[in-house]
Structure 1
Amino acid sequence: MAGKKREKERERAFYENGSKLHEKLIASCNGRPIPIRSYSCEELQRATNNYDPSRIFHTNWISKWYHGSFEGRMISIKKYLKHHGDKIFTDIAVTAKMSAHNNVLKLIGCCLETQVPISVYESAANGSLSSRLYNVTSDLDGAQQHQREPLSWQSRLKIAREIAHAISYLHTAFSRPIVHRNIKPENVLLDQHDVAKLTDFSLSISIPEGETHVEDVICGTACFLCPHYLATNYITEKVDVYSFGSFLLQLLTGQRLHELFSSTDYFNVEDFENDRKRFTINEVVDAAILVEEEGSVVWQQLEAVLQLALICRKKDPEIRPDMVDVTKELRKIERFIL
């Protein structure tokens, strides 16, 4: 009797989740939904050894991420902590749409038989950028994280350029620009070659065709939120530009933003430009970079990235560059090393 009840619950969940996801995919993909592989509950249980806690490699506000193995292939499984309504279906639909980009974690499929859908992705073997950047083990970063060598400056610069390219694609590749709204190190995962992969499109929103903005409630992470968005509820691509500026600051400093802002006053463009005699780059750059890197080229790169971060964080959205120009600038900065 219990088995029949469980089977009915699965069927109901599959139907309800499937119809919601199909609707979201059709809306997101201009009436041509992307096919997504369907996994059973048992397949994902076997893939994760029944969701063994030792396989958790990252946890955030919405989900736990597990390393898994299926049919001889390493995969990542995203198990949502609870049902977040449309956010989950938005995450799956936008990720499916973006999966062709090399710097977005590719969605392979999902399990719709559970009350809360479970997503399956390509492997993020090297875990989250946040755990590598801060080089600490915490409950938020998962049970399996260990102290590792800090990321080199050139690795950080490459990650910045890769994520900028993914955001540029999000903004420009479709008839309706998509704004991520939650760009931060916790939403960047690394594959076995340390290629950066943008994830978590649960807060993403499209700007209607022919419009310059869309209006919505405030969503995102403190310190990454655009002041203009906070004041007006207006969302444009410049919301992501502001967040990316904060992202660059964390790559440079190796600190979480609330720690950074409590220790220095130098994070607006005016202070940086007007007080250079008193302010040196080594006051804020991650000590791990300063120990490892030497030479005038690296100092030029550090200065240039800091300047770019601060311009991206300008209070007036009109003054901020767009992400295509940010990506071009990061490519130029990388070439300093040649």
Structure 2
Amino acid sequence: MACRAGRQRDRDRQGSMLLKKLNIAAALVDHGRKNRERKRAFLENGGLVLEKLVASCNGRPIPIRTFSYQQLVLATNNFDHRLILHVNLTYTMYKGSFEGRILSIKMYGLYADRGLSDKDLALMDMGISAKTTAHKNILKLVGCCLETSISSLVFEYAQNGVLFDRISISRRQGKPMLWRSRLKIARQIAHAIAYLHTAFSKPIIHRDIRPRNILLDQHDVPKLTDFSLSISIPEGETHVEDVVRGTVGFLCPSYYSTNRITEKTDVYSFGMVLLQLLIGQHPLESLRENEDQTLEVHLSNRAINEIVDPAILAEEGGAGLEQQLQAVRQLSLTCIEEDPEIRPMMVDVTKEFRRIERFIA
């Protein structure tokens, strides 16, 4: 009996060792397969990335750092959900640490709307970000990872998060943002958009300007981000046509009805952002009690203290503050005029901000 039990233990031990060997072999095969997939992705993405960067930058590729997939895994603690900064329909942004420096890692997810692919979105975002990254109010692209099936992007870290969370009455936590900070953010984002429209031979239209696409660094300096839906107007042309893409509530009505994109498309979206900075909520939410009125009529006919975020009205500012609020309301309403021809160019918007800021010395 003892001899038979010993033989059984030997067989069990051999079976256990065989199982371990099979598991190790399977793991090695899986690891080898994943390595092959990453090498293939690296080669495929490398060509696409180079092509996009050359096309975006007047024939000159802009050198950006490349990160390995393993570096992304280590930087995000294997993409720990607790390190998620924010989630969009098209991507997830993680907080990551590289060599003692905090950065943001943008991982694109599934997207199947109107024929767009994840690679289209990521490549456009990377190409425009690389081209415009020198502007202080555009989120700086640091590099990318080519080993993922869709190129992952690495950006500078914006410590103070998304503008939407800082100005939304419904999400407000802690001390409200001061009016002078809101005005500075609006002016600097206006400069960034004007830069997109005027600094290149082919004007860049962002096409999705909204508070969720404006990040704030540790000093509340705004950073425009997410160029995945951006489009350029051909040289010598005033517009380009494309299917409607963007965010409901910030979409230019004339673009929605004609598929025609101009610089005034971004002006309309900026006007809606400016109103949200003033009101503390999406402008259309303020229409709930007056649904029979247009937004322009609703905001024009009411006293300024009836529409402005109460937190702003609680500040000390006197007549100068009221003048600024009135002027910003008028500017924003001009930006969202139904007729694009009436809307100002973004360069003129930046000039108007300089005039408005003089109301309070």
TM-score, normalising length from structure 2? Answer: 0.86
Correspondence 1:25 to 2:59: no
**How far apart, in 1, do the equivalents of 2:252 and 2:287 lie?**
16
Q: Which runs of 5+ in 1 are unaligned?
A: 138-145
**How far apart, in 1, do the equivalents of 2:352 and 2:54 lie?**
36
The equivalent of 1:289 in structure 2 is 312
SS in 1 for 2:295: coil
The equivalent of 2:106 in structure 1 is 78
- Say whether the 8 Å CA contact 1:133–1:151 is kept in structure 2: yes
**How far apart, in 2, do the equivalents of 1:330 and 1:258 lie?**
24
AA aligned opposite 1:134: S
Distance 1:76 1:231, change over 3 A: same
**How far apart, in 2, do the equivalents of 1:331 and 1:157 lie?**
10
**How far apart, in 2, do the equivalents of 1:333 and 1:283 lie?**
21
AA aligned opposite 2:311: A
Q: Write out per-residue CA displacement over residues 222-276 of structure 1, whole angstroms, 9 at most, x where no aligned residue.
A: 12111111111111000000000001011011102442333454631x6655x4x
How many corresponding residue pairs?
Answer: 325
Q: Whose radius of gyration is greater, 1 or 2?
A: 2
The structure whose RCO (Cα within 8 Å, separation 6+) is larger is 1
- For 1:265-284, list aligned pairs within 5 A: 265=293, 267-268=295-296, 275=301, 279-284=302-307
- For 1:26-175, list aligned pairs within 5 A: 26-82=54-110, 84-134=118-168, 147-175=173-201
Q: Tell me which stretches of 4 or more aligned residues in structure 1 moved more than 4 Å.
A: 270-273
- Say whether the 8 Å CA contact 1:60–1:186 is kept in structure 2: no
**How far apart, in 2, do the equivalents of 1:312 and 1:136 lie?**
25
SS in 2 for 1:157: helix
Q: Return the match for 1:198 from 224, 228, 232.
A: 224
AA aligned opposite 2:154: V
SS in 2 for 1:197: strand
- Say whether the 8 Å CA contact 1:95–1:106 is kept in structure 2: yes
- For 1:6-25, list aligned pairs within 5 A: 6-25=34-53
AA aligned opposite 2:159: A
- Say whether the 8 Å CA contact 1:135–1:148 is kept in structure 2: no
**How far apart, in 2, do the equivalents of 1:21 and 1:312 lie?**
36
Identity of matched residues, %: 58
Q: Write out per-residue CA displacement over residues 139-198 of structure 1, whole angstroms, 9 at most, x where no aligned residue.
A: xxxxxxx92321110010000001000000000000010100000000000001110000
**How far apart, in 2, do the equivalents of 1:217 and 1:262 lie?**
30
AA aligned opposite 1:72: G
